[in-house]
């Protein structure tokens, strides 16, 4: 059966339209359907974020539309002419001084949707838009909900917090140090390998910078619960690092970029990156 739908033509243009709504937490929480698009603002934003992730992960053109059957929207693969329907559920922020376990709130949200029955969930993806406070483990939550629902998949989306009436990201919690190290090394390694394949060059210059806010902290041992040293700068620029293709083929990548890693940690008030022992060997936390 075919349905006439109205799809978003351009994700970039849609983001410009979303900007003033993302900056207004109350609007995302209680806003009703658009006059010309049968989706609530937070449903539209959630599906937009999913499209961006899918475009990046698959290399194909994804977009979103309203659900012709009256649900919470659809995600469309323009290249494969396929797609899937979504249902959304909202986890509100805590009221007053109450601090509830974020994983329990996510489980309760999934249970509430699953209670509508197998027919309701069949063929759909559930999107959880969360404003719960706290740290949670996606793998642990995924295992806990595996037998609770009949949806094809469950995605969780969160904007981290609200300051002065606007959403903010990346400022309440510490940057996870080990993920930062692994991401940086992997990015450099991939770039070196690609450039070597395309150009045949063997030596490369790496320019690295970080855009952060004053007071942003870094998690020295990847522990988001403890206090960590903040930076007093915005826009961190680091010395150019020269690496070779052979180094990434022979030496442990972390040792190759240790100078850069030390500078990153020094920008947050440490003497050097703590993932190396006294002999210079890379020893990340288990």
Maximum distance among all Cα pairs of the chain, rounded to whole angstroms: 67
Domain region containing 53: 11-168
The pLDDT confidence band at residue 30, using thresholds 50, 70 and 90, is confident
- Residue 182 domain flag: yes
Same structural domain for residues 131 and 236? no
112 shares its domain with 140: yes
How buried is residue 4: exposed, middle or buried, by Cβ count under 10 Å (0-12/13-18/19+)?
A: exposed
Q: Tell me what pLDDT residue 174 has.
A: 62
For the record, the structure tokens of 63 come out as 């977009």
Reported pTM: 0.58
pLDDT in tens, 61-103: 999 988 878 888 899 999 998 999 999 999 887 776 566 788 8
Supply the DSSP string of 216-267, one letter for each residue.
Answer: -BEETTS-TTS--PBPS-SSEE---EEEEHHHHHHS-HHHHTHHHHHHHHHT
Asked whether residue 232 is assigned to any structural domain, the reply reads yes
CA 86, CA 229: separation in Å to the nearest integer? 41
The total number of structural domains that make up the chain? 2
The whole-angstrom separation of Cα 113 and Cα 145 is 12
Residues 159 and 184 in one domain: no
In a shared domain, residues 247 and 162 = no
Same-domain status, 152 and 188: no
Q: Is residue 260 part of a domain?
A: yes
102 and 192 assigned to the same domain: no
Summarised one tens digit per residue, pLDDT across range 95-146 is 765 667 888 999 999 999 999 999 999 999 999 998 887 777 788 888 899 8
């Amino acid at each position: 059966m075919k349905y006439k739908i109205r799809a978003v033509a351009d994700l970039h243009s849609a983001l410009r339209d979303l900007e003033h709504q993302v900056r207004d937490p109350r609007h995302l929480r209680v806003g009703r359907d658009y006059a010309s698009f049968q989706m609530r603002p937070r449903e539209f934003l959630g599906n937009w974020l999913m499209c961006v992730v899918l475009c990046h992960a698959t290399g194909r053109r994804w977009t979103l539309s309203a659900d012709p059957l009256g649900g919470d929207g659809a995600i469309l693969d323009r290249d494969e002419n396929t797609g899937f329907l979504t249902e959304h559920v909202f986890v509100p922020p805590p009221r007053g001084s109450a601090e509830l376990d974020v994983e329990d709130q996510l489980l309760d949200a999934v249970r509430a949707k699953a209670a509508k029955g197998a027919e309701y969930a069949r063929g759909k993806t559930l999107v959880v838009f969360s404003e719960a406070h706290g740290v949670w483990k996606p793998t642990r939550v995924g295992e806990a909900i595996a037998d609770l629902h009949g949806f094809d998949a469950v995605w969780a989306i969160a904007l981290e917090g609200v300051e002065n009436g606007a959403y903010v990201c990346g400022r309440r919690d510490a940057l996870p140090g080990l993920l930062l190290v692994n991401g940086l090394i992997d990015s450099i390694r991939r770039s070196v390998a690609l450039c070597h394949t395309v150009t045949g060059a063997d030596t490369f210059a790496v320019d690295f910078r970080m855009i952060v806010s004053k007071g942003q902290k870094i998690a020295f041992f990847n522990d988001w619960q403890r206090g960590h040293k903040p930076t007093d700068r915005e826009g961190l620029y680091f010395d150019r690092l020269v690496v070779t293709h052979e180094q990434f083929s022979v030496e442990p990548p972390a040792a190759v970029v240790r100078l850069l890693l030390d500078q990153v940690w020094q920008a947050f008030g440490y003497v050097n990156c703590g993932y190396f022992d006294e002999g210079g060997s890379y020893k990340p936390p288990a």
